[in-house]
Amino acid sequence: MSGLKDKFEKLKREGRKALVSYLMVGYPDYETSLKALETVLERGTDILELGFPFSDPVADGPTIQLAHEVALKNGIRSKHVFDTAKLLKDKYPDKPILLMTYYNPIFRIGLEKFCKKSAESGIDGFIVPDLPPEECQDLKEAMETHSLSLVLLASPTSTEKRLKLICNKSDHMVYFVSITGTTGARKELPMEELERNIQKYKKTCDKPVVVGFGVSTKEHARSISRFADGVVVGSLLVKLCAERNIEALASKVEELKEGTII
């Protein structure tokens, strides 16, 4: 059974929602990123999104764009990402690891090779923000061979027909983008509209749905956890990691996790 499926079933039994945390491997430097990754896993993260540095991260806002750029300048390549995933999986075997990567690195390395290496490294699945559901079948087939979960993105503009397609192609989880635009911490989110969008999603799809893009406070997490299955937090955590403020990072993850307990 998928580690991702196991996690959501466990959370449901416990009456909790998922905290999904994103950090970039190698940002602001490798040692700090590893300490940050271990910290978020220890302090309440249920599912880890592991950032794979790429030169053209079109879905990301300034904070995470900078993380991509600096990680690449630091010499971080696929080997470092896979090695980090294995290290984390060996230490935290009950925490699913999703690789957040654009399609180009997968294609360049080769679908079969990339999937095989990911599975060997303890990665549970991929989130590929620039891969539309209409074009994911080749990757999905390669992933299925290695028992990897594909997580596709839905958005406020997704029609019912498109939501059905996204649901059909996704394995065990769908990532719902809270707003149109790029990633980035925000003070306010359109909660009423977002709740309506998630209600529409749930009429179409019975797979767990997590909400990301802009989530940055305990209040955001609590509000979203009333109608979704979890929240994704990235830019805020990346910023704290950039400041090398591991203590503040730990406190923020604990705070966000409290917001998912309803």
- According to DSSP H, which parts of 15-110 are helical? 30-42, 62-73, 78-91, 103-109
Q: Do the Cβ atoms of 67 and 238 come closer than 8 Å?
A: yes
| Two tokens, residue 10 | 């466990």
| Cis peptide upstream of residue 28 (ω within 30 degrees of 0) | yes
Of 97, 95, 45, which is closest to residue 257 (Cα–Cα)?
A: 45
Catalytic residue among 14, 31, 46, 60: 60
Quick check: is 60 catalytic? yes
Catalytic residue among 29, 46, 49, 206: 49
The C-alpha atoms of residue 217 and residue 3 are separated, in whole angstroms, by 27
Residue 162's DSSP bridge partners are none
Q: Do the Cβ atoms of 98 and 234 come closer than 8 Å?
A: no
Q: Just list the catalytic residues.
A: 49, 60
